Amino acid sequence: MTSPVVVLIGPPGAGKSHIGRALAEYLGVGFRDTDTDIERSAGCRIAQILEREGEAHFRVRERRAVHRALAGHSGVLALGGGAVLEEATQRRLGRHRVVHLAVAPQQLAARIGSAATRPLLADDPEGRLRTLLAVRNPIYRRLATWTVPAGGRSHLVVARIATLLAELPAAHGPAPAAARPPGPPARSGAAAHRGPGDPLGREVGGGLGRAAELKTGDQLRLHQPGHQQRPPAGHPLQQVGPAAQHL
Ligand SMILES: Nc1ncnc2c1ncn2[C@@H]1O[C@H](COP(=O)(O)OP(=O)(O)O)[C@@H](O)[C@H]1O
Ligand SMILES: O=C(O)C1=C[C@@H](OP(=O)(O)O)[C@@H](O)[C@H](O)C1
Ligand SMILES: [Mg+2]
């Protein structure tokens, strides 16, 4: 049994696939995208599965692909934007380091363009994204170890995530060597940023959805909000720095 270095979640167009691939390269680990796994096993594109079988059947395929990848991939794992809707997946994500990539709806829509490959957003991508975000943002935030603003340049988003990974040891073994930046530890501003610069205009990265505490060995115990909302005193994740403005 293995475990991903990090799992990327967030809405369509947030950059889970794009940033995930770049992050994996930066860290020197493998990259896996559950949408690609689904397409391989179905022998056709996601858009075709959605059109032929409907969303409910697609979610069943997706759940299987996600659970397989969570248990069998040791690098960076990107999920499809709707994978977090499944309760069984939500439970499993509680055992992993999860990064929620947060991007404002207008920017998501601009990245997605005509949405030809995303039938769930057809006709009115920005309107559909807003509806979808209203339902999913609370879920993304609740499941996230960190919410990272991802509207900025790719290499800055990658560097931010790598810094966060270096600060919090993984549930199964240490962070990859490349995730430990040289020199003094960077501050975790982007992950703990709250304020007018935030692309959703509200609680993007306003603290941890879950705080982490090291238990026996390298087992990582994650607390749900309500039990402990902040990292231990002095932990670097408590620090708020200016870096968020650059993402
Ligand atoms: N930080 C970024 N800067 C510029 N373009 C980006 C960035 N992140 C993603 N993109 C682009 O946005 C589009 C959607 O990205 P993608 O990785 O497919 O999103 P997701 O997998 O979250 O749906 C792609 O064309 C990708 O190249
Ligand atoms: O948000 C969603 O419901 C979906 C997102 C897509 O993946 P990306 O988020 O990688 O675009 C893909 O899984 C499918 O079109 C459904
Ligand atoms: Mg993707």
Of 24, 118, 108, 113, whose CA–CA distance to 73 is shortest?
Answer: 24
In a domain, 135, yes or no: yes
Q: Which ligand is nearest to the CA of 112?
A: 1
In a domain, 1, yes or no: no
Q: What is the pLDDT of residue 23?
A: 98
SS3 10: coil
Q: Which ligand is nearest to the CA of 16?
A: 1
- Residue 152: φ, ψ to 5°: -90, -165
CA 107 – CA 126 distance, rounded (Å): 9
CATH of the domain at 212: 3.40.50.300
In a domain, 193, yes or no: yes
The string of DSSP codes covering 137-148 is HHHHHHH-SEEE
Q: Whose CA is nearest to atom 7 of ligand 2?
A: 80
Atom of ligand 1 nearest to the CA of 33: 21
Q: What is the pLDDT of residue 178?
A: 56
Number of domains in the chain: 1
Q: What is the pLDDT of residue 149?
A: 98
Of 155, 154, 174, whose CA–CA distance to 166 is shortest?
Answer: 174
Atom of ligand 1 nearest to the CA of 35: 21
Q: Whose CA is nearest to atom 5 of ligand 2?
A: 81
In a domain, 77, yes or no: yes
**189 Cβ closer than 6 Å to some ligand 1 atom:** no
Which amino acid makes up residue 167? E
Residue by residue, pLDDT tens for the chain (247 residues) are 799 999 999 999 999 999 999 999 999 999 999 999 999 999 999 999 999 999 999 999 999 999 999 999 999 999 999 999 999 999 999 999 999 999 999 999 999 886 667 888 888 889 999 999 999 999 999 999 999 999 999 999 999 999 999 988 765 444 555 554 444 433 333 343 322 233 332 233 333 333 332 222 222 223 233 222 223 333 333 222 222 222 1
**236 Cβ closer than 6 Å to some ligand 1 atom:** no
CA 99 – CA 41 distance, rounded (Å): 26
- What's the 79 CA to ligand 2 centre distance in angstroms? 8
Q: What is the pLDDT of residue 116?
A: 67
**160 Cβ closer than 6 Å to some ligand 1 atom:** no
Q: What is the pLDDT of residues 102-125, one digit of tens each?
A: 999 999 999 988 666 788 888 888
In a domain, 133, yes or no: yes
In a domain, 30, yes or no: yes
Whether the ipTM is more than 0.95: the answer is yes
Q: Whose CA is nearest to atom 26 of ligand 1?
A: 18
Q: What is the pLDDT of residue 48?
A: 95
Q: Whose CA is nearest to atom 16 of ligand 1?
A: 15
Q: What is the pLDDT of residue 199?
A: 32
Domain that holds residue 125: 6-246
Best of 16, 17, 18, 37 to mutate for ligand 1, by most ligand atoms within 8 A of CB? Answer: 18
